[in-house]
Amino acid sequence: MDTVYVRDLRMDARIGIYEWEKRILQKIRVDLEMAWDNRTPAASDDIKDTLNYKTAAKLVMQLVENTHYELVERLAETIATTLMQELHVPWIQVTVGKPGAVRGSSEVGVRIERGNRQWQASM
């Protein structure tokens, strides 16, 4: 299976469990890897046949802008579920990082995988 990816998508989020975190915007970083059969778009050269990474990124930004998340785990799960349902992605890996959240580290976060990586599209 082929992979479509978005790396280092940075945005401000309302995320965190502490009261002070609920009042501020914090930087987060999102990476996406999504399984997709790219043979059809490669043959057609038509954006309609692709898993449009711009559409995926916009969906993630909307999810982040519209909701406060207590945990990065919930945000990662929401991203995975939404992209799988809305874009019909059979497998996804989502990484959500909070730069500077732990003193002494550059970033902390979670990485999750959902779906079937071995999925094959019918041709």
98 among known catalytic residues: yes
How do strand 91-99 and strand 26-36 relate by DSSP bridges?
antiparallel
DSSP run (H or E) holding 94? strand 91-99
Q: Which of 27, 48, 54, 98 is catalytic?
A: 98
Q: Are 41 and 56 in contact (CB under 8 A)?
A: no
Chain centroid offset of residue 59 CA: 9
Active site residues per annotation:
98
